[in-house]
Each structure stands twice: as structure tokens, then as C-alpha cells.
Structure 1
Amino acid sequence: MRARIENQVLFIHKDDAPEYKKKGSVVRNTYFWTMRSIADRAPFDRDWEFASEVWLALNRVLIAYAESGYLNTSEIILEFPLSQGAIPDVFRNVATWAREEEETEVCHEK
């Protein structure tokens, strides 16, 4: 999931945020509701926002779903642009750097 941090708020790109599907799998829909419940803002067709106060909870959610094996790695791992600087310690085990070609596509919507 493409991600960035601005002013102690983590943003997940709108195209990478979990989706709810009426006839979707139980695991994917539960993942959607779990992520949405801890997000500060999760508007339709906009980047999802997570304040620093919930980063530990977000980390635990991502680890739990990663360990379940039901979701693809790309749906769980946070991908930060190289320009982000250091990945915060709380996300070290669930984050990586975006590939260079994705650098230009990292979310910049405000």
C-alpha cells in the first residue's frame, strides 16, 4: 500500500486502501472494517488518514492480517517513498520503500 507521512499523520493512497464489497470475502470485508475503524478519516475516493496515536494499533492489524496468510503482501505492507526519510520504528516490520518507478505515483492528494 502506498503510504506517506505528513505532520504525524499516515496517509494510505486511496487506490490501495481496503475495499468493501457486498459479495466480497469475509476476510477482505473484515479487513476493510478493521482498518476503517481505526482510521481518523476514510472518505470514499480519498486517501485514508491515520493519526500517530493509532499507529501501534495499525501495526498490529497489519501484522495480524499478514500472519493470517489470506491477503496478498501488497495489501498489507506499507510502501513509503524514498523521499520520506526514515520509516518510523513502529512500522519497520510492516513497511518497505517504494520502487523507483512508483516514486512518482505516491499519493499527493490533500
Structure 2
Amino acid sequence: MAWFYLAIAGVLEVVWAFSMKKSAGFTLLVPTAITIIASLASFVLLSFSMRTLPLGTAYTVWTGIGAVGAFVVGVVVLGEAATPGRLIAGALIIAGIVLMKVSGSPA
């Protein structure tokens, strides 16, 4: 269950990052509310995953999912640049997440 919680927490990190971008500096009510709710839920699920996963593994995977997810949303939804350097950076983050998963706790 820890990995499931961690995956959902990572997805929620992408949700709150995107909604924060759409909140226009917390001046729009709905995106601001989504940001707050999604971030709290993300932190709660991250803490659940940390009951059994090592801190370094859980936090690295959580931030990695958020970073790559935010990059993908930025490119696909917001039309941000997908330069070769940014794509390589995203691939390296994914490689790090996979390495953390396979060399971490079996929980």
C-alpha cells in the first residue's frame, strides 16, 4: 500500500502545482482551493507511505513524480518548450525514480 499512497501523493503534487499556476498568485478562488486541498492530501498520503518506506526513497520518488509530472503538464497543457535538454533532464529524473524504487525497501 505504501507505494500506492506514494504514487497518488505524487500525482496530487502535480495537481496542486498546476492549480497554483492557474490561481494567478492565489487571486482566483477555485484554483486556490484546489491547490490547498491537493497539497494537504498529497502531504497526508506521503506521510502514510513513510510509515514503511525509507525517508530518502519516499521523498525522492514523490518529488520526482511531481517534477516530471509538472514538466509534462507544462509541455502538453501549457505549451511550454520541450527542448532536448529538458527532455534529457526529465529522463534522468525518471531513471533516478526507477533506481530508488528497485534499490529501496520492498514495502
Report the TM-score when normalising by structure 1.
0.32
Higher helix share: 2
Structure with higher Rg: it is 2
